Chains A and B, each alone.
Chain A
Amino acid sequence: MALKTEEIVLNMGPQHPSTHGVLRLVVELEGELIVNVKPHIGYLHRCFEKHAEAMTYPQVIPYTDRLDYLASMSNNLGYAIAVEKLLKIEIPERVEYIRVLMAELQRIASHLVALGTYGVDIGAFTPFLYCFRDREKILTLFEMTCGARLLYNYIWVGGLSHDIHPDFQRMTKEFVEYFRPKIVELNELLSFNKIFIERTANIGILPVETAVNYGVTGPMLRASGLKWDLRKNDPYSIYDRFDFDIQVGKGEMGTVGDSWDRYFVRVQEMEESLKIIEQAIDQIPEGDVHAAVPRRVKPPKGTVYSRTENPKGELGYFIISDGSVNPARVKVRGPSFVNLSVLAELSKGHLVADLIAILGSTDIVLGEVDR
């Protein structure tokens, strides 16, 4: 007698702890093998782009905080750079250095959340606490600078909201000293853990051609072996002055572009960020951080697409100015949105239990996917 088989449809989410927010996945299964995954997004949709049209240019900045809420500084920076391109204004050196410092500290903080929660997804709870302990130190630095711990509204068009605290440089140096050994600790605890490697190596392999065709960027693209980092390949701000490497996936534990590679590229990038911080921290020149902040932001007619390297990938702002004080159109190309669209491609043919391991390695923030 022939066995009757049919595909099962499994619904994951929106309320599911491993989906990092409110994401619903409709999974088609054949036995335990994934045939297809359909992400349903939009549960956090608040139409940021419509809001932005009713705001003046500086008023949009607090909204950008809430896109990728784990990397608010980087979102502010991307938006500020886009509007400055429209306005064609020069930024004081001091502001540029502080911006780079903040963006790199933010990168470490964002990667720490990504790595910690990835451990939790797979069943390793302890590294999560270690990561959050270290992230706390960065949040303290931010709190000291602008008073906020999560949503900063710190980087403004043409400048910054506050100058840095007199203790900021000393404490950042202390943090760098403190944090270097902690990366080694994290590696011993999680990265080279046998169980962790078994769960992630050779899982969810993303070939580089697929990655480029899907527009995947950031650590995910680099894990597939392509040396592509906007800080080097399309430098913005003052990134061309610093010496750091682009880390790429090498397939040490399995195949190039697997989940472990995506994880480990983030670990290595934290080290690179520390390098940039070390170089920048002593070079901050004196100056006024408000000097170039325009009283009234009213760019001429025009369009701009400006992109920056966020912790999660390429964050693009497409802004159309109609010559008034409100932007006519602000479109955000969120890295999480694009990186999530490749999920079905990644998980086909894997076991359903690996789906969470794959999703965790893409490191999405739903606030940015849904906008």
Chain B
Amino acid sequence: MTSEEIYNILQTKFGDKILGFESELPVESYIVADPMAIKDICLYLRNDENLKFDTLMCLSGVDDANGEKSKDEEDMDVITGGTLSVYYNLDSIELGHKINLKVSTPREDPKVESVESVWKCADWHEREVFDMFGTVFLNHPDLRRILMPEDWEAGYPLRKDYKNPEFYQGMKIPY
């Protein structure tokens, strides 16, 4: 099934929870969804007889950096407003089709429903996104930092306006 057909199915099923379909981009199109309905949508995509998306290939956080950019006193970028996104790349091993989903959340209060209960694979991926972007996954069973130290206080490294700290737990960080 093509992405467009799946988009139409989802739209009749979920209505205004599906926010759009980006297809002009070269290479890959994706369906934009509501971050608070993503679990239901994924559950439907997994369980429906004609769709059967049995694996989550990849789950990636992205800083869209589309907010207002300004400089702080140390001449570092600061971004206010705008969105953080999460991309889902799904694949059906049984039926052999793929689809991409995207959800966007406000940068100041990023909250997305966890899909860990749909695909176990999302557990570590979501922890990584939380670790790197600070996106909170609601109903995730164990949302802790995964790659960075658990007591890292300097924020979320993959945000575009991340500032390298000078000290970590009183130790100077050499560059």
Contacts and interface: CB of A to CB of B under 8 A. Distances in A.
Interface of A: 41-42, 45, 47, 49-50, 85-86, 88, 210, 212-215, 226, 228, 233, 300-305, 307, 314, 316, 318, 320, 328-329, 331, 333, 337-338, 341-342, 345, 370-371
Contacts of A88: 26
Nearest to B145: A42
Contact of A304 (B27, B147, B158): B27
Nearest to A317: B58
B100 interface: yes
Given A42-B146, A303-B30, A316-B89, 20 more contacts: A41-B146, A49-B158, A50-B157, A86-B27, A210-B120, A212-B54, A213-B119, A228-B93, A300-B26, A303-B27, A303-B28, A303-B87, A303-B100, A305-B57, A314-B57, A316-B57, A331-B58, A331-B61, A338-B121, A370-B147
Interface in B16-64: 25-28, 30, 54-58, 60-63
Contacts of A318: 58, 60, 87, 89
B14 interface: no
Given A233-B96, A333-B58, A302 B120 contact: no
Nearest to B61: A331
B149 interface: yes
B93 A45 contact: no
B123 interface: yes
B76 interface: no
13 contacts: A42-B147, A45-B148, A47-B147, A215-B56, A215-B120, A233-B93, A302-B26, A303-B100, A314-B57, A318-B58, A331-B60, A333-B57, A333-B58
Contacts of B7: none
Nearest to A49: B158
B132 interface: yes
Nearest to B122: A215
Contact of A42 (B89, B119, B123, B148): B148
Given A305-B100, A337-B124, A370-B147, A215 B25 contact: no
A49 B89 contact: no
B132 A49 contact: yes
Given A88-B26, A214-B120, A307 B157 contact: no
A302 B96 CA distance: 23
Given A50-B158, A213-B119, A338-B121, A307 B26 contact: no
A345 B28 CA distance: 34
A213 B120 contact: yes
A305 B28 CA distance: 8
B123 to A, nearest CB: 6
Nearest to A305: B89
Given A88-B26, A300-B26, A341-B121, A305 B146 contact: no
A96 to B, nearest CB: 20
Contacts of B55: 212-213, 215
Interface in B47-100: 54-58, 60-63, 65, 87, 89, 93, 96, 100
Contacts of B100: 303, 305
A318 B132 CA distance: 15
A345 B120 CA distance: 11
A304 B26 CA distance: 8
Interface string B93-113: 100100010000000000000
B121 A85 contact: no
A41 to B, nearest CB: 7
Contacts of A316: 57-58, 89
Contacts of A331: 58, 60-61
Contacts of B30: 303
Nearest to A341: B124
B164 to A, nearest CB: 10
A82 B93 CA distance: 21
B8 to A, nearest CB: 21
Contact of A329 (B57, B60, B146, B147): B60
B115 to A, nearest CB: 12
Contacts of A41: 146-147
A116 B93 CA distance: 31
Contacts of A228: 93
A338 B58 CA distance: 10
A331 B26 CA distance: 18
Interface in B105-144: 119-121, 123-124, 132
A226 B120 CA distance: 18
Contacts of A215: 55-57, 119-121
Contacts of A333: 57-58, 60
